[in-house]
Structure 1
Amino acid sequence: MSETLSSCLFEVACVLLVVNELYHSLFQSVAIIKICKIVGDFRNHRYYRPWAPKPVMIPATKKIMTELSETAVLSQRAVYADMFGFKYTLNGLNHSEINTRKSRLYSRVLQVRGPTQFQELYPYLDRNLRAFMDLERLSSSAMGPEGTISIQLASFSERLLSRLMSAWFFGENMTSDSLFRNALLSHPRQIKSCAAAFQLTPTLLAPFVHSIITRRGNAMRLIQHTLNDTIAAGIERWDEPPEIKKVCIHALNTSHLYVHTITNILPQQLTLLHQLIDLSEPNRTYWTPETLSQAILGLWLAASHQPWVNLHAILLELCVRPEWQDALRKEALEHQGNLASMIDHLPLLDSFMRETARFNALDKVAIRRKALTDYTFTSGSPIVRAGSVLCVSSYDLTRNSNIYPDPNHFDGMRFINGRCRDASSRFADVSENHLIWGYGSLACPGRNHASFILKMVVVHLVINYTMRLADPGASRWWAWEDFTMPYESTKVFVTRRG
């Protein structure tokens, strides 16, 4: 699609947004101002409203949250299918069904096998991280004194996490293709844009709007076609090494040797795609290449948003509190020779990241569910009608002074100095007072992987660089309904340590 045609179609979409808003506002005098704000917000990725009507807030007690999380007719899949328009953005994926086969496969790959392989995965991801940082420095248009570069923090965080997550998901060979790599970055962005547009346009126009925003779904189709071909060919046909050379792991105790050792070796058995294909083989009548590739598209969406926004928040707090860069650096250097096995056992790092997530409410609600039928909670209330969206206030939980004394004060030591009455303390933990990963059996199955990769990035940055805000007084966040989103204009100066 040419740029001219794309631009024209975008303008058509904007006209449709205007017409729709005029209709609902009955041509009131305030409509023009409201329309201009909506179109302006849409152009700047400030999405208008992720759902309508407003969700029903449920009391955040442990008993009710458990019932909300575990009741089959209160669907997690359905609420996100509505919010993000998965019928179009994930190529017809049905998120209203209760799919125990999918849940079991995800659990085996992400919660049983995955956490046992972090030490083997570390050098491969570390190499990708170093390559990204080297490229970032080389491509910087403005190099300051002492090798300082300026980065746009939101874009940097999103691209870096996309690079590392895609390496873990798909491996070296597939992600070395720039078209495939760019599609992995573009597709989640397009889904968020569609989520906004679908709330502003009649359902009848949803396919048309999706086609405009995604350029006929090019990124989605490229990803799925590539996955279909790879899955259909079978693991044995991949042209990458089928096993790990264990010598790479033994070389971790030296500071530089392992980088050279693994340069041309892909830990194929550790990639998510390899694991999913391997474990789904016995049930290939259900897990066809199309079904499996579609499931991976859904996993990629989940993995491609929350981790980078959390990384953005963590790096912002490190810029605002530079003394923590030194504190976390000191802790990491104490284990520098064995970070592969110790990266998930750094209590100061866990506490700082957990406090950052508590202090910065990136999503003020949690445990979103859609009632597939009328439902009455076992306590007798609330009574909800079919189609209602339910959730609890995670923001109120993080500001509960009975759990977090002096909750409006940032305390990076909170989870190791006794100033928190929650029994859990690790960033990847799930508890009734820490809901960024969800709750119950449907809590994010990949949270340990996301936490592991985030810790790798933070440790690498504090060991090798110092960071400071280009403008400490500039706005850093803006609100979209219950979400807090980073400004794309926030800049950070990054200087390599001597």
Structure 2
Amino acid sequence: MALPLDIAQAPSLSTYGIAIIIAILLYIAKISSFKQRCLDRIPTVGGPSEPIVSYIGAFRFVRGARDLVHQGYSRYRGGVFKIARPDRWLVVVTGPKLMEEFRMAPDDVLSFVEATNDTLAIAYTLGPNIRENEYHIPIIRTQLTRHLGHAFDDMHDEVAAAFSDEVRPGGNEWIEIPGLEAMSRIITRATNRAFVGLPLCRNRGYIDLCIGFTIDVALGAFIINMFPTFLRPLVGRVLTRVPGTIGRGVEYLGPIIEDRLQKMQENGKDWAEKPKDLITWLIEDAQGEERTVRNWALRILTVNFAAIHTTSSSFTHALFHLAANPQYIQPLREEVEDIVGREGWSRASLQKMRRIDSFLKESMRYSAQGCLSMSRKALKPFTFSDGTVIPPGVYVNAAQAATHHDEEYYPDPDVFDGLRFAKGEGESSKQHLTSTGNDYVPFGHGRHACPGRFFAANTMKTMLAHLVVAYDVKLENEGVRPPDRWFGPVSSPNAKAKVLFRKRQV
């Protein structure tokens, strides 16, 4: 019987393979050509945009990203510009009109999740479970936020206890305290009072683990992203310390999780003494393969990572501003004592402390944690109203520091005014620390604004209110705020700077 097609006449496997390869290369060339055409139409800041020589701009970005973004913001305000990074082009959006279009872009076009996954190399640092299943985020947005009032007494108790342990001046003497290190410990304790409760939130080893995990993830992501994409899985396995940290986390958290599971089994879902904390909520919401002690421990450490780094940096910035400007201590102190004297310590009374709220908001405006915010990765072409096209694979950001220092939004923007947002009787919600807008983006803006910002604000306001009624503060070099440390687009408070504390003098 004759075959439908003589095998001898049929194209060989290698012919098919060559055809497929050619088709793929043509497709890549087409996509690359489209991407390059789009990028060529976007003005460049920092250096030439041609291949190879664009690394001049990338080097400048590593050394002075803040200045480059400010330069582009001033030159192309109301439009977009691009800056070379060592591994990619970065597009920066400016002006209220384009910012609004940017924040309203659909998630399947400009993706916050994919940008975050890439920036933190989550597939290799925190692992595929965290990348593919973010069930902890609705917990933060709902249960954690709803229980802030219920948990305030515990939060206030832990803040006071942590300050007493970390800041222990004797008599009228001033003592030097490493600002960032001490505030990180206090924030980690206060945060974990709501996450895991007593006594673990005061365990020194556990606190060190949580802080170390934050450093390990950030450093691991930085190292991994220095390598080409095809090498990252290998680098992620070899060079990061995160898996070992998770194992240590299981040692601390495992017994508590096992005990909680047993009590839930014995007493049902809603027994009277069930703790209202992160452990409970994670256990209740986890499904399928997430229901293991290791995965719950990883999830708790992941939420710690999100909470500790940003909150510690933000509060330390505020501490440095307060110590450099001690004239603010008395008005803040008077407000706290007046409100607490009439209403006691509660979340409701905390919300009435407009000066405390304003001081922290002004600190976050003035000393943003970086020159960029609201990172998105383009998954599909996106066209702005001015005709600018963002091709797939390109990262888009808002100009955070430049926006916060724009005199169109803030009078005297380069002057620190701790009561800027507390002036006038007609206070609007826009003045609040947790409010976001196109002119105020440390928490992001829009539907992807930080879900934990209410918890973070509650923690920082409690800390600042306690600090001003309990201590006097100043700097080693009085009145001179320690300079921030910059690396690329990221800013952090000076880790070596010390703050002088003494018991409040009556």
TM range (shorter): 0.7 to 0.9
What is the CA–CA distance in structure 1 between the aligned matches of 2:106 and 2:393, rounded to whole Å?
A: 15
Q: 1:326 aligns with which of 313, 323, 330?
A: 330
Aligned amino acid, residue 321 of structure 2: E
1:222 shift after superposition: 2.6
Task: Report what 1:76 is aligned to.
Answer: 112
1:435 matched to 2:441? The reply is: yes
When structure 1 is superposed on structure 2, of 284-293 and 82-91 the one drifting more is: 284-293
In structure 2, relative to structure 1, the CA distance for the partners of 1:422 and 1:380 (3 Å cut) is: farther
Task: Report what 2:34 is aligned to.
Answer: none
Q: 2:220 aligns with which of 187, 194, 207?
A: 194
1:480 shift after superposition: 1.3
Q: 1:451 aligns with which of 457, 460, 470?
A: 457
Task: Report what 2:125 is aligned to.
Answer: 89
Alignment of structure 1 residues 358-377 onto 2, 5 Å:
358-372=365-379, 374-377=380-383
What SS does the corresponding residue of 1:415 show, helix, strand or coil?
A: helix
What SS does the corresponding residue of 2:318 show, helix, strand or coil?
A: helix
What is the CA–CA distance in structure 1 between the aligned matches of 2:365 and 2:167, rounded to whole Å?
A: 32
In structure 2, relative to structure 1, the CA distance for the partners of 1:129 and 1:87 (3 Å cut) is: same
1:178 shift after superposition: 4.2
Q: 2:310 aligns with which of 306, 312, 315?
A: 306
Number of equivalenced pairs: 422
What SS does the corresponding residue of 2:413 show, helix, strand or coil?
A: coil
What SS does the corresponding residue of 2:194 show, helix, strand or coil?
A: helix
CA deviations on 1:253-301 (whole Å, 9 max, x unpaired) are xxxxxxxxxxxxxx963322223333x16xx347534665554443222
Task: Report what 1:106 is aligned to.
Answer: 137
When structure 1 is superposed on structure 2, of 123-132 and 470-479 the one drifting more is: 470-479
Task: Report what 1:469 is aligned to.
Answer: 475
Aligned amino acid, residue 127 of structure 1: D
What is the CA–CA distance in structure 2 between the aligned matches of 1:400 and 1:471, rounded to whole Å?
A: 29
In structure 2, relative to structure 1, the CA distance for the partners of 1:420 and 1:394 (3 Å cut) is: farther
When structure 1 is superposed on structure 2, of 325-334 and 73-82 the one drifting more is: 73-82
CA deviations on 1:288-325 (whole Å, 9 max, x unpaired) are 34665554443222111111111011111111111111
1:415 shift after superposition: 1.6
1:383 matched to 2:389? The reply is: yes
What is the CA–CA distance in structure 2 between the aligned matches of 1:296 and 1:228, rounded to whole Å?
A: 11
CA deviations on 1:19-74 (whole Å, 9 max, x unpaired) are xxxxxx99xxx9xxx9xx99xxxxxxxxxx98722411123435644544551222
1:124 matched to 2:154? The reply is: yes
What is the CA–CA distance in structure 1 between the aligned matches of 2:130 and 2:171, rounded to whole Å?
A: 54
What is the CA–CA distance in structure 2 between the aligned matches of 1:198 and 1:326, rounded to whole Å?
A: 47
What is the CA–CA distance in structure 2 between the aligned matches of 1:75 and 1:51, rounded to whole Å?
A: 21
When structure 1 is superposed on structure 2, of 195-204 and 348-357 the one drifting more is: 195-204
1:215 shift after superposition: 4.2
- Residues 404, 420 of structure 1: 8 Å contact kept: no
1:352 shift after superposition: 1.4
What SS does the corresponding residue of 2:376 show, helix, strand or coil?
A: strand
- Residues 167, 501 of structure 2: 8 Å contact kept: no
- Residues 90, 220 of structure 1: 8 Å contact kept: no
1:80 shift after superposition: 2.0
1:354 shift after superposition: 1.2
- Residues 57, 392 of structure 1: 8 Å contact kept: yes
Task: Report what 1:55 is aligned to.
Answer: 90
1:170 matched to 2:196? The reply is: yes
Aligned amino acid, residue 283 of structure 2: I
Aligned amino acid, residue 346 of structure 1: M
What is the CA–CA distance in structure 1 between the aligned matches of 2:455 and 2:214, rounded to whole Å?
A: 19
- Residues 66, 440 of structure 1: 8 Å contact kept: no
Aligned amino acid, residue 172 of structure 1: L
What is the CA–CA distance in structure 2 between the aligned matches of 1:170 and 1:448, rounded to whole Å?
A: 19
Aligned amino acid, residue 77 of structure 1: V
Task: Report what 1:5 is aligned to.
Answer: none
1:155 shift after superposition: 0.8
- Residues 228, 293 of structure 1: 8 Å contact kept: yes
- Residues 324, 481 of structure 2: 8 Å contact kept: no
What SS does the corresponding residue of 1:390 show, helix, strand or coil?
A: strand
- Residues 93, 294 of structure 1: 8 Å contact kept: no
Aligned amino acid, residue 88 of structure 1: Y
When structure 1 is superposed on structure 2, of 420-429 and 153-162 the one drifting more is: 420-429
**Structure whose alpha-carbon radius of gyration is higher:** 2
- Residues 225, 232 of structure 2: 8 Å contact kept: no
Q: 1:149 aligns with which of 175, 181, 184?
A: 175
1:491 matched to 2:498? The reply is: yes
What SS does the corresponding residue of 1:339 show, helix, strand or coil?
A: coil
What is the CA–CA distance in structure 2 between the aligned matches of 1:245 and 1:461, rounded to whole Å?
A: 37
1:446 shift after superposition: 1.0
Identity of aligned residues (%): 20
Task: Report what 1:253 is aligned to.
Answer: none
What is the CA–CA distance in structure 2 between the aligned matches of 1:324 and 1:80, rounded to whole Å?
A: 37
Alignment of structure 1 residues 349-428 onto 2, 5 Å:
349-372=356-379, 374-377=380-383, 379=385, 381-417=387-423, 424-428=430-434
1:94 shift after superposition: 5.5
CA deviations on 1:419-471 (whole Å, 9 max, x unpaired) are 99996001111222211111111111111010000011101110000110012
What SS does the corresponding residue of 2:214 show, helix, strand or coil?
A: helix
- Residues 217, 242 of structure 2: 8 Å contact kept: no
- Residues 348, 416 of structure 1: 8 Å contact kept: yes
Q: CA RMSD in A?
A: 3.7
Stretches of structure 2 lacking an aligned partner (at least 5 in a row): 1-51, 64-83
What is the CA–CA distance in structure 1 between the aligned matches of 2:147 and 2:334, rounded to whole Å?
A: 26
In structure 2, relative to structure 1, the CA distance for the partners of 1:51 and 1:315 (3 Å cut) is: farther
1:288 matched to 2:291? The reply is: yes
In structure 2, relative to structure 1, the CA distance for the partners of 1:331 and 1:238 (3 Å cut) is: farther
1:367 shift after superposition: 1.0
What is the CA–CA distance in structure 1 between the aligned matches of 2:447 and 2:254, rounded to whole Å?
A: 29
